[in-house]
Amino acid sequence: MRINLDVLQILDALEKHGSFAAAAESFFKTPAALSYMVQKLESDLNIQLLDRSGHRAKFTETGKMVLEKGRALLNAARDLEKHAEQMESGWEKELLIALDGSFPFHLLLPMIEQFYRLNTMTRLRFSHQTLAGSWEELTHNGADIILGAINEPPGYSGYSFKMLGMLDNVFVVSPAHPLAKEKDPLDNKQLRSHRAIVIGDTARHSAPFSYNCLDDQERMVVYDFHSKLMALISGLGCGYMPRHTVETYLRNGSLVEKKTVSFKQKDIAFLGWNNLSDGLAARWWRDQILACEMVKSLYDKT
């Protein structure tokens, strides 16, 4: 390859400093040495980068294009060097954090901002899964961390888990829904006569599961809690939601909480991680999540 980074750095310095003399000072070289390298590239490619007819050399249109594209290459080379150094020191190229659908993504925003301030070059990826699909994202699909997964962890070796606490569930309906006017607690016969809005399981490899829904009850399936919330507010059915997702709507009257005879009131929520994902970024995120007061406040410890 006839274009090398040294010449691109010279062109960059020449444009910034305005003359070969000033650019040469930044390299601790003579102006003649810099001029020779530029002229050699012009000769090798049979192009003209600089117009030398005036008092100072000016970039030609070709020279401006090479300067612009060359700066992109210089930036990429610097990023490559930094990335290689960071990987050697233990920072991962990429980190995949999977979130259970019950976990509110906005709680991570302050941590994301703090992480980017570290300027680590580690690319962050987030995925959103539900029910058994959350665990599957960790055990089958390459996630480094799973946050907020509920129910018992799978019995696979090579993974670690820490209980975050208990997720409180609540049965809700729209004020216009027929069940809103029924006396508490609602029994299974009453529930069977109304459509349930349920969260579908995103699992693909393991057996999906559902709960807090009667087997013979009509159901509408969605795959995220926001869609379920909107369907409940619209009166399209009834269903259970994590309490933290509906507190605002219970206060403003958009939803009504109802007691039922039997349902799974609490879910155990976990933080899980792949033991092979033990780079600096993975460790940083695990520590930050476990120390985050907003995450702690989300779950009942009793």
pLDDT at 108 over 90: yes
pTM exceeding the 0.75 threshold for the entire prediction: no
Give the chain's radius of gyration (CA, Å): 30
Name beta bridge partners: 99: 128, 147
Please state which of the four CATH numbers 3.30.565.10, 3.50.50.60, 1.10.10.10, 3.30.70.20 is assigned to the domain occupying 5-89.
1.10.10.10
> For position 125, what pLDDT does the model report?
95
pLDDT at 302 over 60: no
Annotate 245-297 with DSSP letters as a single string. Answer: HHHHHHHTTSSEEE-BSS---EEEEEEEEETT--SHHHHHHHHHHHH-HHHHH
> For position 172, what pLDDT does the model report?
97
Domain span(s) for CATH 3.40.190.290 in the chain: 168-267
Fold of the 168-267 domain: D-Maltodextrin-Binding Protein; domain 2 (3.40.190)
Domain span(s) for CATH 1.10.10.10 in the chain: 5-89
pLDDT single digits (tens) 64-85? 999 888 888 887 877 677 666 5
pLDDT at 41 over 60: yes
pLDDT single digits (tens) 49-65? 998 888 788 899 998 99
pLDDT at 210 over 70: no
> For position 276, what pLDDT does the model report?
86
